[in-house]
Amino acid sequence: MPHLAQAVCLTAIVVAATAGCQGPTTPSDAQSQAQAFPLTITRTGGIAGFRDVLVVSRDGLVSVTRSGRKPRQCRLTAGVTQQLTTAVSSLAWPTATPATTHATFPDDLVTTMAKPGADPLRADDPEAGPAGRLVLELVNDINDGPAAALVCRPL
């Protein structure tokens, strides 16, 4: 009987020690995805003086506001929605300094992306990775106009 008590006590100690070694829990994929949206994409600068704002929701709905034009909406294709969600959710959002998110020269064209609670990150920054490439592709698709849209279909 003393051996049984010792075995139970030892098992309790091992279980308690193992539980403490698991480390911090990570948020689920759904939580991570929810924290990445709405994603705000801003394109500013350039010779033409762009001031475009795209707000992407988790379901792929994109609200587009461009200076001098009527606001509109479009929807990302299912494949692009999934790619963007995966890329943005897995991105380690660095703290960008304000100087890196603004144009250096008057004709610089700067595209940034930001999620709630994070500083903006330039889409062309190497830290942006696949998310940055998808954001630039989306901005270019929006610029081509509704008739030529391949990534974001007009509603």
- Between 29 and 137, whose confidence is greater? 137
Task: Tell me the residue type at 88.
Answer: V
Q: What is the mean pLDDT of residues 42-52?
A: 85
Segment among 8-12, 85-89, 126-130 with least mean pLDDT: 8-12
**Rounded-to-integer distance, Cα 89 and Cα 34, Å:** 8
Which region, left, alpha or beta, applies to residue 15 given φ > 0 means left and ψ of -120 to 50 means alpha?
alpha
Q: Across residues 6-16, what is the average pLDDT?
A: 36
Top mean-pLDDT range of 77-81, 89-93, 120-124: 77-81
Determine the Cα–Cα distance for residues 38 and 30; give it in Å rounded to an integer.
14
